């Protein structure tokens, strides 16, 4: 069966939310509607959106810990955590960073993005990379000094406010984590993130399309809005089916 249809049927069968948002159990792809966070007003809470509360093993931190447009917490089971991990590793692979050689990352975070940065650091540590975190809370000069102390191979910028000028003049290769709520800049080495599933795609050059892990995720374009819509086809407890996380048109590798 088509993996999108199969995922939609499972979501319909196993969650209150998809059971109520779909008019009937989908049997064809054109019966699966495109949705976004506004549809979630129909859910009473996060428990309506998951299949089994006893399998919850954690909550996914939002990119900005005080801001999230999705109305509830995002919770995960072990499968969701593993898939989120694989998406990040796949994205780094696109940039030529593999787990075969341990490397040194330094994540640049701030008060708002600290929890999200922590999740990334954990994933990198699982792959035997060194992933320290420096918090940009003082002057740019202070930040540069700390970066010099850590001597990383890669800087992973997860800071919500560290501007390009603050990070200018650094010798290390820079990877930027970009949240889908903001206009996509013309930067190299861009990881695309959303609050619902974390980092899900990557682009090396500014003109390149974003690449994602097709074993893990389906990304389509909503024909009406032309916005990307993702489907976590291998979900265990927390499905997102034809869900648009952002409101910017984005080019993905077709």
Partner 1 sequence: MPDSPFHFIDHTKGSASLIPAGRSFENKLRKYFQYQIDTSAHYASIFHKLGLNSTHDPFEVLDELPPTTKEIYRETLQLEALTRLNESTFVTDFSSGSTADSVLRLCAPVDDLAEQSVTETAFSSIGMGPEDHFVCMDIGATEIYDFYFRAARNLGVGRTSFLHLTQNYGQSCLPLKPLQPTVLLTVPSLLIRTWNAIKNYWNEDYCPIKTVIHMGEPMDEDFRRKVEDHWNCKVRSFYGTTETGGIGMSCEDNNGIHFDPNVFVPTLEEVSRVNEGEFEGEVLFTTLHIRTQSMIKYRVGDRVRINTAYCPCGNPNPRLTFLNRTQEAFIIAGEKFHHAMILDGLKESAPDLPFANLVIEDLDPTEGDALLRVQLPDSYREKEPQFLTTLEMDIFELDALFRYGWVKFELEFLPIDMFQGRKMIKVRDNRLHMGYDSRENASD
Give residues in contact with partner 1 (CB under 8 A).
44-47, 53-54, 56-59, 61, 68, 71-73, 75, 102, 111, 114-115, 117-119, 121-122, 125, 128, 130-135, 137-138, 142, 146, 148-151
By beta-carbon proximity to partner 1, the closer residue of 33 and 115 is 115
- Identify the bridge partners of residue 211 per DSSP, sorted by sequence position: 202
d(CA 91, CA 51) in angstroms, rounded, equals 28
- Estimate to the nearest angstrom the gap between the alpha carbon of 40 and the chain centroid: 19
- Identify the bridge partners of residue 193 per DSSP, sorted by sequence position: 179, 199
- In angstroms, what is the minimal distance from the CB of 49 to partner 1? 10
By beta-carbon proximity to partner 1, the closer residue of 110 and 208 is 110
By beta-carbon proximity to partner 1, the closer residue of 53 and 168 is 53
- In angstroms, what is the minimal distance from the CB of 249 to partner 1? 29
CB distance 32 to 241 below 8 Å: yes
Residue 18: partners with Cβ closer than 8 Å, 6 or more residues away: 8, 11, 12, 239, 241
By beta-carbon proximity to partner 1, the closer residue of 26 and 245 is 245
- In angstroms, what is the minimal distance from the CB of 200 to partner 1? 21
By beta-carbon proximity to partner 1, the closer residue of 94 and 131 is 131
By beta-carbon proximity to partner 1, the closer residue of 100 and 186 is 100
d(CA 19, CA 15) in angstroms, rounded, equals 6
């Amino acid at each position: 069966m088509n993996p999108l249809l199969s995922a939609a049927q499972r979501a319909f069968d196993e969650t209150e939310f998809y059971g109520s948002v779909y008019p009937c159990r989908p049997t064809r792809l054109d019966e699966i509607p495109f949705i976004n966070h506004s549809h979630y007003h129909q859910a009473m809470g996060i428990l309506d959106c998951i299949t089994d509360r006893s399998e919850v093993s954690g909550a996914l931190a939002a990119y900005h810990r005080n801001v999230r447009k999705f109305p509830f917490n995002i919770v995960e089971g072990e499968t969701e955590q593993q898939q989120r991990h694989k998406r990040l590793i796949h994205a780094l692979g696109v940039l030529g960073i593999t787990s075969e050689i341990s490397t040194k990352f330094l994540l640049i975070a701030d008060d708002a993005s600290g929890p999200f940065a922590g999740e990334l650091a954990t994933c990198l540590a699982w792959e035997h990379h060194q992933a320290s975190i420096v918090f940009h809370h003082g002057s740019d000069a202070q930040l540069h000094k700390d970066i010099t102390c850590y001597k990383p191979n890669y800087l992973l910028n997860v800071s919500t406010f560290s501007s390009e000028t603050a990070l200018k003049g650094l010798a290390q290769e820079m990877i930027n984590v970009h949240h889908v709520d903001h206009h996509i800049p013309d930067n190299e080495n861009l990881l695309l993130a959303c609050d619902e599933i974390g980092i899900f795609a990557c682009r090396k050059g500014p003109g390149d399309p974003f690449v994602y892990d097709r074993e893990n995720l389906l990304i389509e374009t909503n024909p009406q809005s032309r916005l990307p819509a993702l489907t976590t086809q291998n979900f265990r407890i927390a499905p997102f089916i034809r869900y648009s996380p952002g409101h910017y048109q984005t080019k993905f590798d077709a």
